[in-house]
Structure 1
Amino acid sequence: MADITIVSSSMFQPQNINQTGQKKIHLTPFDLDILYVDYPQRGLLFPKPDPETHFISRLKTSLSTALEIYFPFAGRLVKVNNLEDNTVSFYIDCDNGLGARFVHAESKSLSVSDILQPHCSVPDFMNHFFPVFNVKSCDGVSEPLLTIQVTEIKDGVFISFCYNHLVADGVSMWGFFHTWSKICSSGSDFVHQPLVLKRWFLDGIDYPIHIPVSETETSPPPPRNNELSSVPITEDRVFHFTKKNISDLKAKANSEVGSSDLKISSLQAVSAHMWRSIIRHNALSREGETHCKVAVDIRQRMNPPLEKECFGNMVYLPTATATVGELLDRGLGWAALQISKFVSSQTNEKHKTFAEEWIRNFPIIKSGVGSRMAGDSIVVAGSARFEVYNNDFGWGKPIAVRAGPGNSISGKLVLFQGIDEGSIDIQATLWSDVLVNLLADVEFLEHVTIV
């Protein structure tokens, strides 16, 4: 186990909670659908700052200022028991002043080279660089909606965050992180516009939404044969796609699609390559179904569209489905086209229908060992559009970015902007045997750069 020790843990509130404006945020079906999903976890590795700059104190002070702008992170989830109809409802209380948690940790033995291992292997000790484990969105009634951990190592510092997905998505979280870094580096000179909260509430839906109590009770079944050893072990590995890797995959996919009205994007080509390659080594029946879920920002897909930077959770996971045989036999272009079709179909009417059906059926995603993927799916989270390397707290830009252990099911792929212009990094969580086979797959490695 890594020798990471906690130096301190404290709560930080906005400097002026009386100017937060909106006090209560109701939750939409898109929010409530992920009530039992783990807090997303991300982190950036930085060079070591000069101790004389008192950077920990600067980070704490600037965090309070950032929370004055991004005030929902300082609130809490509230669960209301509606005894009159045996339901529960939830909302975000932005005005309780409980704040976000800041954890200061250190390791006297670990260095940057230990984190940046050869071939982009992600060591197990990285889990200790993130402050929470197995905390779900519904736990926001007692857990902070945002927790920051700053871990000092011998020649660097790792700044990680874990946030409640009911409150925000990647667009909003990285917006907060960038604002925090700007405040820390520029102090009082930084000027930020007031936060724009999402304003979309469907006609005909009453808020708060009442959920039957039975739908919020979870008791995951035990692992098969009641043996934990029957659950395969997962490992994480970062795959690097250079600008040329991506260009080649995109050109190959579009050439195979031919005269289709839909053009394959870079993300769709890379996602299709990962989907086909992973499924090829999962020992599935050719007649069985396989799924590819890609996180889509729906802000600009609504009618009227929402502001591009509005704060909140506005992500949906459309699912492309194929039989294993189809996926493997029909080529990269066909797989990418399936993804493209489902992404293109995400319209205002589609989301309105989803919300209406959700309220009728309450298909809340359950998590836990009993709901582990059977190796038949991949989930593509994150985005190469997030400018993760443009965050400078005053002592230099990041060296690397990593995802934490939250929602670590086999087939989870987290996309990041690569450190080189036009490149993409994907942190993949895969069963160990699948990863071994993937690293020996010549067809897969043809379009991936191992660094």
Structure 2
Amino acid sequence: MVDIVVISDTIVQPESYEDASDRVKIHLTPWDLFLLRTEYAQRALIFPKPDPETHMISRLKSSLSTALNVFYPYAGRLVKIDNEDGETASFYIDCDGSGVKFVHAAAVTVTVNDVLEPAYSYWSEFFPANGVKSCEAVSKPLLAFQVTELKDGVFIAFSYNHLVTDGASVWSFFKTWTEIFSTGREKFPPLSLCGWFLSGIDYPIRVPISETVPSPVTGLSDADSFLGKKIFRFTSRHISQLKAKANGEVGVGSDVISSFQAVVGHTWRAIIRSSDLNPEEVIHCKLAMDIRQRLNPPVGKECFGNMVGLATTTTTAGELVKNGLGWAGLQLNKTVGLQTNEELRRFAENWVKNPKIPNRVVVNDSLTVTGSPRFDVFENDFGWGKPIVVRGGPGITGHGKIITYPGTEKGSTEIHTSLWSHVLDKLLVDEEFLQHVDLV
């Protein structure tokens, strides 16, 4: 048993909270509500150990309180309303200043290298919201932190509810927090909320009661025991080679298939090759994508909220394996291109008519790719050194779950995979795949 001691478990509130009459109510869109049953996303940055004179914990709390003045929705709570029809419920975020969770812990015998070992078995104990689902935010904070002091470093983990935020917004918040800590800056531009909603659709959206409560998934713990996790790093050289190969195979020019589409296409094909699926089996690749600039009128890139859609490419196992990287990259490219304002609004309008909320977004016939190598991760510096690594925590797992991050080397990309163990074993000896990646 690893010796992790919880020193304190507190709530940090915004430094100054306005009168209740100024409270903001954030109505939820179909993209928000679709994630009502999913677990909190959990991420972590591991930092060098600061000098004791830094007074790290007290300053982290005070700077976090200041950051919450700017990013005030995080300090709110989810509100559920049972509608008068007795069959539906509605939800909104009440920006009431209740605060975020902050856990201070210590594991003084554990080193940074210990927790980075692939076989390290106490990973979940460093995260503050294991197993918490989005719908539980009616009584739990929307954002939680755990700062664990290691023997030679600091493990800062955070968990966030996708109903209120996406990766772009949460990393923007983290950058603001580190800037406040390191410089003392307190004045920032007012937060811009992604305040769009569908014209012609009443809100709050009414969701059938049956869709708003988590239902048990039988055999889940047994299934998860057969999952393996591995991190693969694509260097800038690997990425350039894959992009050139993909575009060269289909003769569409050097910039049609993007670097990211080439990396995802390469990974998807390798996973399917290793899965021993029937060639006729229908498979999907779901890319989580920022839809801010795809709406008309577009929403500002800096606006706060959850603005993530899933661009789903569908084919068969046989077609994907047979047709090569260029074909795979082109299918991904076409699918992304179809995510227009009209298509996004059509999805939302149809969803409102028949709301369906999955228990788990990840299913066996799908590769689901979240995160982004474009997120500003390694510039988050509290003043005692930049992050050593970024890691994903426990949470939404399952075969085919892929989280992407920028790598520590400039221009590189890391993919953190969750796959059936027998598939991962084959992937680790797939020469075609391994020639363009490094193992972490």
Question: Shorter chain as normaliser: what TM range?
Answer: over 0.9
User: Separation in 2 of the partners of 1:254 and 1:150?
Assistant: 44
The Cα shift of 1:259 comes to: 3.5
User: Separation in 2 of the partners of 1:423 and 1:231?
Assistant: 29
The Cα shift of 1:191 comes to: 3.4
1:178-197, aligned counterparts within 5 Å? 178-187=175-184, 189-197=185-193
User: Separation in 1 of the partners of 2:362 and 2:268?
Assistant: 18
Residue 203 in structure 1 maps to residue 174 in structure 2: no
In the TM superposition, what whole-angstrom CA distance separates every residue of 1:124-168 from its partner, at most 9, and x where no partner exists?
322221111111111110110000110110000011110110000
The Cα shift of 1:258 comes to: 1.4
Q: Is contact 1:2-1:128 (8 Å) kept?
A: no
Residue 286 in structure 1 maps to residue 275 in structure 2: no
Equivalent in the alignment of 2:429: 440
The Cα shift of 1:123 comes to: 2.8
Residue 128 in structure 1 maps to residue 117 in structure 2: no
Cα 1:26–1:53 shift into 2, 3 Å: same
Residue 147 in structure 1 maps to residue 144 in structure 2: yes
**Secondary structure in 2 matching 1:408:** coil
In the TM superposition, what whole-angstrom CA distance separates every residue of 1:187-221 from its partner, at most 9, and x where no partner exists?
1x353211000121111111111112233244335
The Cα shift of 1:410 comes to: 1.6
Cα 1:218–1:449 shift into 2, 3 Å: closer
The Cα shift of 1:229 comes to: 4.2
1:125-274, aligned counterparts within 5 Å? 125-187=122-184, 189-223=185-219, 229=222, 232-259=225-252, 263-274=256-267
Q: Is contact 1:45-1:159 (8 Å) kept?
A: yes
Deviates more, 1:265-274 or 1:123-132: 123-132
Query: Which AA in structure 2 matches 1:13?
Result: Q
In the TM superposition, what whole-angstrom CA distance separates every residue of 1:333-381 from its partner, at most 9, and x where no partner exists?
11111111111111110111011100111021223xxx8622x211111
Equivalent of 2:342, from 316, 337, 349?
349
Equivalent in the alignment of 2:64: 63
**Secondary structure in 1 matching 2:378:** helix
Deviates more, 1:6-15 or 1:108-117: 108-117
Equivalent in the alignment of 1:373: 363
Residue 3 in structure 1 maps to residue 3 in structure 2: yes
**Secondary structure in 2 matching 1:270:** helix
The Cα shift of 1:449 comes to: 1.6
User: Separation in 2 of the partners of 1:148 and 1:183?
Assistant: 17
**Secondary structure in 2 matching 1:180:** helix
Cα 1:25–1:436 shift into 2, 3 Å: same
User: Separation in 1 of the partners of 2:213 and 2:56?
Assistant: 44
The Cα shift of 1:261 comes to: 11
Equivalent in the alignment of 2:116: 116
The Cα shift of 1:438 comes to: 1.1
**Secondary structure in 2 matching 1:317:** strand
**Secondary structure in 2 matching 1:421:** coil
Equivalent of 2:414, from 406, 425, 428?
425
The Cα shift of 1:23 comes to: 1.5
Q: How many residues align?
A: 439
Query: Which AA in structure 2 matches 1:32?
Result: L
Identity over aligned pairs, percent:
54
User: Separation in 1 of the partners of 2:222 and 2:415?
Assistant: 28
User: Separation in 2 of the partners of 1:129 and 1:448?
Assistant: 28
Equivalent of 1:390, from 374, 379, 382?
379
User: Separation in 1 of the partners of 2:119 and 2:347?
Assistant: 37
Q: Is contact 2:362-2:401 (8 Å) kept?
A: no
Gaps of 5+ in 2: none
**Secondary structure in 2 matching 1:79:** strand
Equivalent in the alignment of 2:38: 37
Equivalent in the alignment of 1:308: 301
CA RMSD in angstroms comes to: 1.8
In the TM superposition, what whole-angstrom CA distance separates every residue of 1:411-450 from its partner, at most 9, and x where no partner exists?
1111111111110111111222222211111111000022
Query: Which AA in structure 2 matches 1:114?
Result: D
Deviates more, 1:211-220 or 1:420-429: 211-220
Q: Is contact 1:122-1:236 (8 Å) kept?
A: no
Q: Is contact 2:105-2:147 (8 Å) kept?
A: yes
1:314-325, aligned counterparts within 5 Å? 314-325=307-318
User: Separation in 2 of the partners of 1:411 and 1:24?
Assistant: 36
Q: Is contact 2:373-2:405 (8 Å) kept?
A: yes
Equivalent in the alignment of 2:269: 276
Give the structure-1-normalised TM-score: 0.94
Q: Is contact 2:23-2:94 (8 Å) kept?
A: no
User: Separation in 1 of the partners of 2:219 and 2:40?
Assistant: 23
The Cα shift of 1:116 comes to: 3.1
